[in-house]
Chains A and B, each alone.
Chain A
Amino acid sequence: MGEFRHGVTRGGGDISDGEELRAALATAMAGADTALAAADLLCRACVRLLEVDGASVSLTHEGSTQGTFGSSGETSRQLDELQFTFGEGPCLDAVRQGAPVLVADLGDPAETRWPAFAGALVRSGINAVFALPVTIASKPIGALDLFRRSAGTLGAAALTGGLLAAELAALPLMDLMGSDLDWDVAAQGGDGWEQLASLSRIEVYQATGMLIGALDVGQTEALLRLRAYAFAHDMTAADTAWAILEGRVSLDPDDWLEPGGPRREPG
């Protein structure tokens, strides 16, 4: 429990405005050599910047190994994992609903949604939990959970920051889902916001659709393949998408058996 008992080291103090939070979070994952380490760093940044005592990132996507990945410390990780043990919790609900689940007081007798999980949290001294869905191309794949000892709502600035952190959390989660993808390489593709912006473009959605059709895979899998191809060829996701749309990349499924897609450079 050391993480929570001594862990009131909120370096920054006051929560700054949205732009400063964006910048602080964007650099939070710098220097990580694995996706797991990056997710840990992001969670620690949440504790530092968002007036919470613990944070963790979990992956719930079907077909992937579900569970808790990044965390601000061992206690947060263990608490978060209880949701998978019990099969209930705000994180799972946030993913199911595709919307934040904010619980200001877990000890409130009217709060009966997760009897086993809530009880375990309260016994561990956690009285508020805020679960924010992590999405890729609008599909929830996991959640960022923020834990706080004191009951009460999450402030507006902290919520804004939490939502930003949940967006960024998509990057390490994507790389944990695509086991062939190397965070080291992935992290070199510009800052987190640039990577996310490159993934949320019309041509990327269209090219994802072409991969769904050609490879007979789901939406998330198709986007992961596109992203892996981009990294393998040192291209942005948007450049890769144009290459696919303009027929410069073979969509023959045999060519996509290798992680990262066809070996040939697009001509």
Chain B
Amino acid sequence: MSDSRERDITGSFVRLASSLAKGHDVVDLLSELTEDCAHLLGIASAGLLLADDRGVLHVMAASTERTRQLEVFQVQRADGPCRDCYLDGAPVSAPDLRTEAERWPQFAPAALGAGFASVHALPMRLRDQVLGALGLFGTSPGALDPDDLSLGQALADVASVAIVQDKVKSDQRTVNEQLQAALQSRIVLEQAKGVLAQKGSLQMDEAFAALRRYARDHNLRLTAVAEAVVTRALPAQQLLAHARGAGRS
């Protein structure tokens, strides 16, 4: 392992631990975690899928906020490596998606169409419960080496802890209620991206960046800012003006 990569890994875990200790915004932290994951493992894209109380998988966070790429994660509601990984509670590897059309008739073509060639899925576990799966997408065929997979699993474990330790919400909630709250935060985030994209003629990933910029610069939780945008308590133009200003400086 090179020194710089080791520093990156350490830095990533230190930041995650500090967010957890301070009382974090779960969507924000998990988005960051998936970005770290993509960067540290040298893959194109990483996404977290969480199961609701019926076992249906929902996109919770991803290293990309582009709608079409989020859709590739979402399509695994029907079939795909993350779904299999969640159901079995064990890692699933697909080093070459071109050979997987029979195994995942909906997912394989969708992923190939989006430019992905390989997928690895790691379970998000909490004691005996499987919460969801972390999907690691590459643009060229090939398997991840065991070191990378165990690093990915360590990040998935941090994600599981982050979801159930969302202290700001409530100490009394069950794991299922915490999961539900996390999924609701994601819904509001997507709606807020839509509002900003429409008001500022932005792409969805730009809208997400503007939201995050505003939340961080004002020391607010990402979910709280998203909620304020959606309920129109915070004028979209005010947030967009701030993001434009921050972009120039």
B191 touches A219 (CB 8 A): yes
Given contacts A212-B232, A213-B195, contact A206 B77 (CB under 8 A): no
Given contacts A201-B74, A203-B67, A212-B230, contact A138 B188 (CB under 8 A): yes
13 contacts between A and B (CB under 8 A): A137-B187, A197-B77, A202-B67, A206-B197, A209-B191, A210-B198, A212-B191, A212-B194, A212-B195, A213-B198, A213-B236, A214-B198, A216-B232
The 6 A-B residue pairs whose C-beta atoms are closest, nearest first, are A209-B194, A205-B190, A213-B198, A209-B191, A210-B198, A138-B184
Q: How many residues of A contact B (CB 8 A)?
A: 25
**A-B contacts, CB under 8 A, total:** 73
- Chain A's nearest CB lies how many Å from the CB of B39? 23
Which residues of chain A come closer than 8 Å to B194, judged between CB atoms?
205-213
A251 touches B (CB below 8 Å): yes
Q: Residues 173-213 of chain A: 1 if any B CB is under 8 Å from the residue's CB, otherwise 0?
A: 00000000000000000000000010011110111111111
Q: How many residues of B contact A (CB 8 A)?
A: 30
B195 touches A205 (CB 8 A): no
Instruction: Count chain A CB atoms within 10 A of each CB in B70, B74, B177, B195 and give the residue with the most.
Output: B195
Give Cα A179 to B236, complex, Å. Answer: 30
B71 touches A203 (CB 8 A): yes
Give Cα A211 to B199, complex, Å. Answer: 10
Which residues of chain B come closer than 8 Å to A99, judged between CB atoms?
177
Which residues of chain A come closer than 8 Å to B187, judged between CB atoms?
137-138, 205
A87 touches B (CB below 8 Å): no
Which residues of chain A come closer than 8 Å to B177, judged between CB atoms?
99
Which residues of chain A come closer than 8 Å to B56, judged between CB atoms?
197
Give Cα A16 to B123, complex, Å. Answer: 30
Give Cα A47 to B61, complex, Å. Answer: 40
Which residues of chain B come closer than 8 Å to A206, judged between CB atoms?
67, 190-191, 193-194, 197, 204
Chain A, Cβ-Cβ closest to B55: A18
